[in-house]
Amino acid sequence: MAKHNVTITKRNGALGRRSPSQDGVCGLITTGVAVAGKLVLDTVYPMLSIRDAVSIGITPEYDATHSVLVYHAIDRFFKANPSGTLNVMIAAQENTMADLVDPSKDLAKKLLRESQGLIKYCGVSRNPVAGYVPTGLNGLDADVLTAAAKAQSLYESEFAAFRYAGFLLEGRSFSGTAAAAKDLRTLNTPNVSITIAADPAISNSNSAYAGYAAVGDVLGLISKASVSQDIGELNSDFDLQDTGNGVFVTAGLSSGLELSAYNEADLDVLDEKGYIFPTAVAGIAGFHLSDSHTASALDNNDYAFIENNRTIEKAIFLVRQALLPKIKGRVKVDPATGYLQDEDVKALEATGAKALSGMESDGDISGGIDCYVDPEQDVLSTSKLEIEVTFIPVSIAREITVAIGFSNPFKSN
């Protein structure tokens, strides 16, 4: 009946309408080559889609000509989260990853500063000069481990400037055995994560890409996730695989090997050591990330996972924004005792608590918001007002144990 017809498929998404959220603003610093009249090195470029990259000369041809993965990383970020915002800086290829995040150099530091605190997570990758041979150290390019310490130092200096951005490093050139690999949980870098995820189709497409890790893909999932959400959540929103676009049709590590080259025990060890990589889970389609590890200890550490950091950093940002107008404001004291008056104490407590109410309604915290101002503070002599804010976070069920068996109704009679 419909043989002679015009078939039309209605498309969606061309208007570029976005789901705006400052939580999804990320940065990417990598190395590459300038494009005359378009791309200037060490310059910050805000991007809302892959078209913004193309407009400054970052194209598939750019990657192919220079044997780099710049367009690729940006494209994968937006494939993972079309509503994300990515601020990009390209530095000269001679820079190491450690150079990129060194607090004494104006590279990642400049990216974060010029983005005025909007960047919530920063990806760091490297496209080395031709002929580069990595120096192996504990199963990774030594540059990665040096960069982790530098990135943590940069985080701390940025935190002091009220800019809160964690780091995702490219775990280049994974090699050796899982048993011999560096235990990232022994690093004291709670605001740094390292991914060794790789798409074999990319690893095998050019010898220069053999040791790459998929920072763009993972960063896109961080951008997409709610601040309290594990980026390894086992649902379709966090599936690395997109067969229609040829993305992670298979999955591998930055060793250049596919997951099938490793047994389950090896992958369990890498997970325990804090690496972020793809996993295949029986009963779940596609590939999902192993977890949201940070390169820091599990014991006595509130910030062992990315979502812990993102949640507390958002809370810090919101409380600070709410209380900033109170700076240099008048606070009444009791004429007899010098203690803060109840009216001002209650107003301050209400302001601090209200700042986090949106996080509770969004499901990013469980509740229990409490803001306490000790009235017995001598603000008259110190000009310093101390406020304590606490809340109950959400928990992540990383393991579920089920008891299941048969039931015989005859036995209950």
Above 70 in pLDDT, residue 19? no
State the average pLDDT for the chain: 94
Do 42 and 87 lie in one domain? The reply is yes
- pLDDT for 367 equals 95
Q: How far is the C-alpha of 331 from the C-alpha of 315, rounded, in Å?
A: 24
Model-wide pTM > 0.75: yes
Reduced to 3 states (helix: H, G, I; strand: E, B; else coil), residue 46 is strand
- pLDDT for 217 equals 98
Do 332 and 228 lie in one domain? The reply is no
Q: Domain for residue 408, yes or no? A: no
- The candidate with the shortest Cα–Cα distance to 224, out of 361, 75, 19, 71, is 19
Do 229 and 339 lie in one domain? The reply is no
Do 130 and 168 lie in one domain? The reply is yes
Q: Domain for residue 307, yes or no? A: no
Judge residue 281's burial from the number of C-beta atoms within 10 Å of its C-beta, 0-12 exposed, 13-18 middle, 19 or more buried: exposed
- pLDDT for 106 equals 95
Do 104 and 221 lie in one domain? The reply is yes
Q: Domain for residue 320, yes or no? A: no
Percent of the chain at pLDDT > 70 equals: 94
Measured in degrees and rounded to the nearest 5, phi and psi for residue 302 equal -75, -10
Above 80 in pLDDT, residue 177? yes
Do 292 and 335 lie in one domain? The reply is no
- Domain of 148 in residue numbering reads as 22-296
For the chain, the straight-line distance linking the first and the last C-alpha, in angstroms and rounded, comes to 61
* DSSP count for the chain of H helices, then E strands: 13, 14
What's the CA angle centered on 243, arms 239 and 244, to 5 degrees?
120
Do 181 and 110 lie in one domain? The reply is yes
Q: Domain for residue 303, yes or no? A: no
- pLDDT for 197 equals 98
Tens of pLDDT along 386-404? Answer: 999 999 999 988 888 899 8
Tell me which of 1 and 187 has the higher pLDDT. 187
Above 90 in pLDDT, residue 99? yes
Domain count, the chain: 2
* Cβ density class 93-117: b for 16+ within 10 Å, e for less: bebbbbbbbbbebebbbbbbebbeb
Distance from chain centroid for Cα 378? 41
Do 160 and 250 lie in one domain? The reply is yes
* Mean of pLDDT values over 201-207: 97
* Final residue before a domain boundary, out of 275, 296, 317: 296
Distance from chain centroid for Cα 314? 13
Q: Domain for residue 372, yes or no? A: yes
Do 52 and 96 lie in one domain? The reply is yes
Do 278 and 355 lie in one domain? The reply is no
Report the range of poorest mean pLDDT among 305-309, 329-333, 407-411. 407-411
1 pLDDT band, cuts 50/70/90, is very low
Give the residues across from 278 on adjacent strands: 289
407 pLDDT band, cuts 50/70/90, is confident
The two structure tokens encoding residue 216? 């763009």
Q: Domain for residue 194, yes or no? A: yes
Above 80 in pLDDT, residue 11? no
Tens of pLDDT along 311-364? Answer: 999 999 999 999 999 999 999 999 999 999 999 999 999 999 999 999 999 999
The two structure tokens encoding residue 193? 């994560």
* Mean of pLDDT values over 38-65: 98
The two structure tokens encoding residue 260? 């099938």
Helices (H), 97-141: 97-101, 108-114
Do 330 and 257 lie in one domain? The reply is no
Do 114 and 220 lie in one domain? The reply is yes
